[in-house]
Chains A and B, each alone.
Chain A
Amino acid sequence: MLDADFFHRWMTAAADSVDREANHLTELDSAIGDADHGSNLHRGFAAVRAALDKEPPQTPGAVLMLAGRQLIATVGGASGPLYGTLLRRTGKALGDAPRVARQQLAEALGVGVAAVAQMGGAQAGDKTMLDALLPAAEALGTSFGAAREAADAGALATVPMLARKGRASYLGERSIGHQDPGATSSALLITALAETDGASGGDA
């Protein structure tokens, strides 16, 4: 079972990963966007880390809801409301249980991902974060490792896609051939989840 501390470590691992990959995300974003995805998420996850460390919430749901609120309040752009909503709605779906099973998290993540799809009006194949998140949420029902592989494969699969949402969509055909920055950062978030599980000794 996964407790609040596990979710706290997941968010910290995600913040570390965003720190390491910020320049890479910004590079991807400058090809088909506006060159700020890395710096924006870096600012947001720094705020998440600070808020969680200051007053660690007592339940998995509360950890994700606090993290989501921090992202909405600090990131801006489309990423702020979308990532913020992902974490808030996933957290809300977990309720106030002190511990949750992986299967419950998979279901809750599905709820969060659906909220992102509704908010952004996007669907699978539009070259967005959903292309990593939809397969990851489904594969999380199998294992953490499967979720990670699905997210990575989903992010890679955005390369040949034509962007239909977000700023990359203005490029039309010229968006083809570039990996989507949002799908890439979504894969980082899922990878951080799998690594947190690995570090705590295997599938829960």
Chain B
Amino acid sequence: MRMLINVPETVVADALRGIAAAHPGLTVDVENRVVVRRDAPVAGKVALVSGGGSGHEPLHAGFVGPGMLSAACPGEVFTSPVPDQMVRAAAAVDSGAGVLFIVKNYTGDVLNFEMAAELAEDEGVQVTQVLVNDDVAVTDSLFTAGRRGTGATLFVEKIAGAAAEEGAPLERVEAIARSVNEASRSFGVALSAVTTPAKGSPTFDLPPGELELGIGIHGEPGRERRPMMTSREIADFAVDAVLEDLRPRGPVIVLVNGMGATPLLELYGFNAEVQRVLSERGVVAARTLVGNYVTSLDMAGCSVTLCQVDEELLRLWDAPVETPALRWGR
């Protein structure tokens, strides 16, 4: 596998130096692996800190800025960051109004953020956590590590970030983050395996002419393998899997997310099919976002995330945001 890297050991640090050079709105501590919005701490504002393994760019560093995250902590590729990073980030962005940790539901992320929350509170920072677990492909969630956090992370970070920017107190920001997670579901498919820099070869073997249904974002295989399907068939399958679980009674925000190696041309074509299924099922798409936002290195494929919204959540979604990967309204 050819990769645009120097050596596997430095891919995260190299990318952080590149992010720093491209985005003057961010302060990047390459050594300690913390990305902070330049004007933090913002007086009186609740701070939002997230983080997770690298390899999902632009998540999370690409969502740092006014209207979204205060700081992000990138770990090694597909490996949760360590508690020191979150503690450092929390200290850097806390204005005294408290910090919300946004944690994707993976065992490693949960354990490290939990340790970090304890350490940060020892240092006098008020911390609460919200868990993102939107992936309906994980069934039997009582007998597993539970549903994974995927596309809904973007919704939680954007909508809770807007509430924090407006000056909402910590309990309110936390409640909004929770309600967004509870109103969101995702389903993903892979058209190719993923190759991590450390391993250098695909993490699973996907023969030509087949696809994986119900994948996560770490190259872990999905639950089921089938002969290749058309965009129309995949949209039917993925949207129905989400709707069956979500059963929305109102309009939704749609995220059609690329896994990294699927061209936008294909993603837009897939979005047309997603919109068709939604309208056939009588679901109104209030807003739609198409692009590579929660990726899995070089994996081909996509995910669909729906978030049921009321007027308030939709207003917060539309509120101004200014980050490397999402920006509108300013």
Contact = CB atoms under 8 A, between A and B. Distances in A.
A157 interface: no
Nearest to A82: B111
A171 interface: yes
Contacts of B148: 170
Contact of B76 (A33, A40, A81): A40
A80 B143 contact: no
Nearest to A26: B199
Contacts of A74: 82
B198 interface: yes
Interface in A62-87: 72-82
A144 B83 CA distance: 34
A169 interface: yes
Contact of A76 (B112, B114, B143): B112
Nearest to B107: A78
B296 to A, nearest CB: 10
Given A80-B82, A170-B138, A171-B223, A35 B107 contact: no
The majority secondary structure among interface residues of chain B is loop
Contacts of B76: 36, 39-40, 43, 76
A164 B84 contact: no
B111 A81 contact: yes
A174 B196 contact: no
Nearest to A128: B107
B223 A72 contact: no
Contact of A174 (B78, B106, B216, B223): B223
A167 interface: yes
Contact of A167 (B115, B137, B196, B220): B220
Nearest to A163: B144
B218 A167 contact: yes
Contacts of A164: 143-144
Contacts of B196: 34-36
Interface string B236-252: 00000000000000000
Contacts of A26: 198-199
Contacts of A119: 111
B81 A165 contact: no
Nearest to A120: B107
Q: What band does the interface of chain B fall in when counting residues whose beta carbon is under 8 Å from A?
A: 35 or more
B221 interface: yes
The majority secondary structure among interface residues of chain A is helix
A167 B53 CA distance: 14
B229 interface: no
A34 B216 CA distance: 10
Contacts of A33: 220
Contact of B108 (A30, A43, A76, A170): A76
Q: Looking at A36, A163, A164, A174, which has the most chain B CB atoms within 10 Å of its CB?
A: A36
Given A34-B203, A72-B115, A78 B223 contact: no
B33 to A, nearest CB: 10
A169 B108 contact: no
A142 B330 CA distance: 70
A170 B144 contact: yes
B203 A76 contact: no
Contact of B199 (A32, A35, A40): A35
Contacts of B144: 163-165, 169-170, 172
B145 A170 contact: yes
B79 A77 contact: yes
A56 interface: no
A73 B87 CA distance: 12
Nearest to B219: A34
A141 interface: no
Given A172-B140, A172-B223, A72 B82 contact: yes
A163 B143 CA distance: 9
B80 interface: yes
B220 A170 contact: yes
B80 A35 contact: no
B75 interface: yes
Contact of B112 (A30, A81, A166): A81
11 contacts: A31-B204, A33-B220, A39-B76, A72-B83, A77-B112, A119-B111, A120-B111, A166-B145, A169-B145, A170-B138, A174-B221
Interface of A: 26, 30-36, 39-40, 43, 72-82, 119-120, 163-167, 169-172, 174
Given A80-B108, A81-B114, A82-B111, 11 more contacts: A34-B196, A36-B196, A39-B198, A72-B82, A81-B112, A163-B144, A164-B143, A170-B220, A170-B223, A171-B220, A171-B223
The 6 A-B residue pairs whose C-beta atoms are closest, nearest first, are A169-B144, A77-B108, A81-B111, A78-B108, A34-B218, A78-B107
